[in-house]
Amino acid sequence: MFVGDTRVELDRILSRYPTKQAVLLPALWMLQDARGWVSEGGIEEVAAVLEITPAYVKGVVSFYTMYHQHPVGRHFIQVCTTTPCNVCGAEDVVKSLLEHTGCGDLGLTSADGRFTVVEVECLGACGFATPIMINNDFVESVTPESVSRILSELK
């Protein structure tokens, strides 16, 4: 994982911190960006390059909800359902997403491997209820009705 350009990038980040361990979150982001999720094998690689143990890395990975500990669909969709969005009908958006993606249930990946839908806690865009995140992109003010259009624009 951390060879060539990726290694150069990692070294550049390492230079910003007094400890190697501080680069754990950035390194995990690099891993997930490259592989789509954080596997046990990936954890071993990150641990080795930062000179920490896999168990330590795993404890950190499992603390942060954005690191995928399992493979996810090509379009990973996070729907905010915390109170501010909930009062604006976020749960209906979830239903609509599950229906249109064919995911069946939250956390499951659709049979075609395209989608995974999860509920998340506050995305910090409460004034634009209901916000959803599709991979790294925000879509604001999603309604049950706008779901099919949003999904149709995805590859």
Partner 1 sequence: MGYPHPSHPRETPILSKYFGDPEARTLAGWRARGGYEALEKALNTDPQELQTVVKDSGLRGRGGAGFPTGLKWSFMKPDGKTHYLCCNADESEPGTFKDREIMRWTPHGLVEGVALAAHAIYAQTAYIYIRGEFTEPYARVCAAVDEAYAAGILGPNAMGSGKHVDVHVHRGAGAYICGEETALMNSLEGRRGNPRIKPPFPAVAGLFGKPTTINNVETLTTVPYIIKNGAEWYKQYGRPDNPKSIGTKLFSVCGNISRPGNYEVALGFPFKDFLYDLCGGPLEGREIKAVIPGGSSVPILTREEAEGAIMDYEGFVASGTMLGSGGVIVFDDRQDMVRQIARLTRFYAHESCAQCTQCREGTAWITRIMERIRDGQGTAEDLDTLVAISEGMSGKTICVLSDSCATPVMSGLKKFRHEFEAKIAANTSMVTVPGAFRASAA
Partner 2 sequence: MAEVKMVSLTIEGRPVTVPDGMSILEAAKTAGVLIPHYCYHPGLPVAGVCRMCLVEVEKFPKLAPACATTVGEGQVVHVHSPKALEARKGVLEFLLINHPLDCPICDQAGECELQDYTFAEGRADSRYREPKRFNPAEDFGGDVLYVQNRCILCTRCVRFMSDVAHDPVLNVSERGDRAFIGKAEGHDLTNPWAGNVVDLCPVGALLSKDFLNRARAWELDRAPTVCTGCSQGCNAVAETRDNVVVRLKPRANDQVNQYYMCEVGRQGYREFNRRDRADQPLVRHGNTLTIAEWDEAVARAAESIAGRRLVVLASANLSNEALFLLERTIVAAGGAGVFRLERGEEAPLPGAPDLALREERAANATAARLLGFTETASIGSTLHDGDALWIVGDHLDGVDAADLDRASSIVFVGTTLPAALEARAAVVLPITNIVEEEGTLTNLRGRVQRYLQAKAAPGVARPTWYVLADLLAAVGGDGRFYLPAEVFAALASTHASFAGLDYEALGLRGLPMIDAGMPAGAPEVTA
Query: Binding to partner 2 by residue 5, rule CB under 8 A?
Result: no
Instruction: Select from 30, 57, 98, 142 the one that contacts partner 2 (CB under 8 A).
Output: 57
Q: Which residues pair with 27 in a beta bridge?
A: none
Which residue is listed with tokens 């779901």?
A: 147
Query: Binding to partner 1 by residue 94, rule CB under 8 A?
Result: no
Quick one: 40 exposed, middle or buried, by C-beta within 10 A (0-12, 13-18, 19+)? exposed
Cα radius of gyration rounded to whole Å, the chain = 18
Residue 50 interacting partner from partner 2, partner 1, none (CB closer than 5 to 8 Å by kind): partner 1
Structure tokens that stand for 14 in this block: 């390492």
Q: Which helix (H) or strand (E) holds 134?
A: strand 132-134
Instruction: Select from 19, 40, 55, 111 the one that contacts partner 1 (CB under 8 A).
Output: 19
Residue 82 interacting partner from partner 2, partner 1, none (CB closer than 5 to 8 Å by kind): partner 1
Chain residues that interact with partner 2, rule: CB under 8 A: 40, 43-44, 52-60, 62-63
